[in-house]
């Protein structure tokens, strides 16, 4: 405050008031910043000294790590593995439940009429030419025909039909034309010393009508039939048919439960058997599988033709395989 014409205080009174209030007298050279009595209480009066604004120390934020190229590449694989681990046990549980339900429904819906065969795994065809079909009915397509004596594997029986496996594949045949090979195989006897039982490993097939049997001094020409030639065929058709007969004879021996070989005399002039003049030095015999002559089986399947010789000679070989 200043004394002057606008105040009622004298200079002396003003000085005394300063002493009482302990106010410093404003300097003469700082008039612009001094506070006059007239400015006290006014809203726009400048403050003598403003306090410094408090600075807020900001917390340092952690810097984000930059992903490496390897992490970027393998990130999808890691995500897939995590998903697999989460889904593994639910999938296993669902599969187990479905498997249990499937087993229950399969067990309950199986046909009573279809049953597995008993101890007879193989059977013999008894008809002269029996159809093998694609299904257990005469309405199904015929796959082919099997000759009498053909040995087949029986899988199941259903309503008078048997599901079998033969050289034609897997199909169906009427059970009336099949007989269990267990009961049809005769028990070999030793009354005739020329008949002996051999195993499949003791017989080596040369072609459809010639074999080599362990213990025999020469190859054996099987009698009663003639198969196509494979060594010197007259045409390509005979070669192919001869190879089929050879392979079929190997299958018959491999699948047989019992094999018998009987040595017989060759139809040659006396004194020539065992030489090149008689049957090219070969012996003669009959080979049977499960009680059936292999020659009759091959004839029934169209892989050989009947061939009968006399006492001392044989007619020209039959069968024109080149037609």
- The pLDDT tens digits of the residues spanning 61-91 come to 556 666 677 777 777 878 888 877 777 778 8
Return the CATH fold of 195-307: OB fold (Dihydrolipoamide Acetyltransferase, E2P) (2.40.50)
Return the higher-pLDDT residue of 43 and 135: 135
Q: Are 264 and 246 in contact (CB under 8 A)?
A: no
Top CATH class of 115-183 equals mainly beta
Q: What pTM was computed for the model?
A: 0.44
Q: What is the pLDDT of residues 214-226, one digit of tens each?
A: 988 899 999 989 9
Contacting residues for 303 by C-beta, under 8 A, at least 6 apart: 208, 227, 228, 241, 244, 245, 248
Computed over every residue of the chain, the mean pLDDT equals 76
Q: Let me know: does 298 contact 249? Beta carbons within 8 Å.
A: yes
Percent of the chain with pLDDT over 70: 72
Q: Is the pLDDT of residue 309 over 80?
A: yes
Rounded Cα distance, 217 and 12, in Å: 166
The CATH 2.30.30.40 domain(s) of the chain lie at 115-183
User: What residues contact 150, with CB distance under 8 A and at least 6 apart?
Assistant: 124, 125, 166, 167, 297, 300, 301
pLDDT at 268: 87
Residue 188 pLDDT: 40
Q: For the chain, where do the domains classified as CATH 2.40.50.90 start and end?
A: 195-307
The confidence score (pLDDT) of residue 287 equals 93
pLDDT digits (tens, 9 = 90+) for 21-67: 766 555 544 444 444 555 544 555 444 455 544 444 455 555 666 66
Q: Provide the pLDDT confidence category of residue 110 given band limits of 50, 70 and 90.
A: very low
pLDDT, greater one: 160 or 219: 219
Report the candidate in 176, 65, 62, 182 with the shortest Cα–Cα distance to residue 120.
182
Secondary element (H or E) of residue 81: helix 69-109
In the block, residue with structure tokens 């008949």:
195
């Amino acid at each position: 405050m200043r004394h002057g014409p606008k105040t009622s205080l004298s200079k002396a009174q003003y000085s005394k008031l300063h002493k009482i209030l302990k106010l410093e007298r404003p300097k003469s050279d700082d008039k612009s910043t001094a506070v006059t009595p007239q400015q006290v209480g006014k809203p726009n009066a400048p403050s003598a000294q403003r306090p410094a604004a408090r600075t807020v120390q900001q917390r340092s934020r952690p810097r984000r790590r930059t992903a490496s190229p390897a992490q970027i590449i393998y990130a999808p694989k890691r995500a897939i593995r995590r998903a697999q681990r989460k889904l593994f046990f639910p999938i296993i549980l669902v599969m187990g439940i479905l498997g249990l339900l499937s087993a229950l429904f399969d067990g309950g819906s199986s046909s009573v009429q279809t049953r597995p065969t008993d101890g007879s795994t193989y059977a013999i065809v008894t008809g002269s030419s029996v159809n093998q079909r694609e299904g257990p009915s005469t309405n199904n397509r015929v796959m082919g025909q099997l000759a009498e004596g053909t040995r087949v594997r029986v899988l199941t029986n259903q309503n008078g039909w048997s599901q079998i496996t033969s050289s034609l594949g897997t199909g169906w045949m009427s059970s009336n034309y099949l007989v269990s090979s267990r009961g049809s195989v005769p028990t070999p006897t030793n009354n005739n010393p020329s008949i002996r039982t051999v195993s499949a490993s003791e017989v080596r097939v040369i072609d459809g009508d010639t074999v080599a049997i362990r213990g025999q001094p020469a190859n054996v020409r099987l009698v009663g039939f003639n198969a196509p030639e494979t060594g010197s065929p007259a045409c390509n058709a005979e070669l192919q048919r001869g190879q089929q007969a050879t392979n079929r004879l190997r299958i018959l021996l491999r699948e047989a439960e019992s094999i018998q070989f009987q040595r017989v005399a060759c139809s040659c002039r006396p004194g020539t058997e065992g030489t090149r003049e008689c049957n090219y030095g070969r012996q003669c015999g009959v080979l049977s599988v499960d009680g059936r002559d292999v020659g009759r089986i091959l004839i029934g399947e169209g892989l050989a033709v009947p061939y009968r010789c006399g006492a001392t000679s044989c007619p020209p070989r039959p069968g024109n395989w080149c037609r």
